[in-house]
Amino acid sequence: MANGTIRYWAAAKSAAGTAHEPYDAATLAEALDAARERHPGELVRVLQRCSFLIDGHPVGTRAHETVALAEGGTVEVLPPFAGG
């Protein structure tokens, strides 16, 4: 297990009711499952549309179960943004 921070942006921040919170998880999938448990409802729906950065690196299409989290790391939760 690693400890770090989940940072929510835009609609994810609104749905979670916070800009950031800690994680205690080995993988992105575990961190997101815990976030869904803490914030049932709108955040669950928003997360389905989000992209994620792990310590500044895009997750892309990798399975969340395969994305390891580092001690002291940061997960950025990025909803789709409008504009260009």
- What per-residue confidence (pLDDT) applies to 74? 98
- What per-residue confidence (pLDDT) applies to 66? 98
How many Cβ atoms from other residues are within 10 Å of residue 29's Cβ? 15
- What per-residue confidence (pLDDT) applies to 59? 98
- What per-residue confidence (pLDDT) applies to 82? 59
CA angle 2-7-13, nearest 5°? Answer: 140
Residue-by-residue pLDDT tens, the chain, 84 positions: 999 999 999 999 999 999 999 999 999 999 999 999 999 999 999 999 999 999 999 999 999 999 999 999 999 999 987 555
Per domain, the residue ranges of the chain are 2-78
The CATH classification number of 2-78 equals 3.10.20.30
Residue 14 has which token pair? 């609104």
- What per-residue confidence (pLDDT) applies to 81? 76
DSSP 5-17: EEEE-HHHHHHHT
Backbone angles phi, psi at 68, to 5 degrees: -75, 145
Separation of CA 50 from chain center: 8
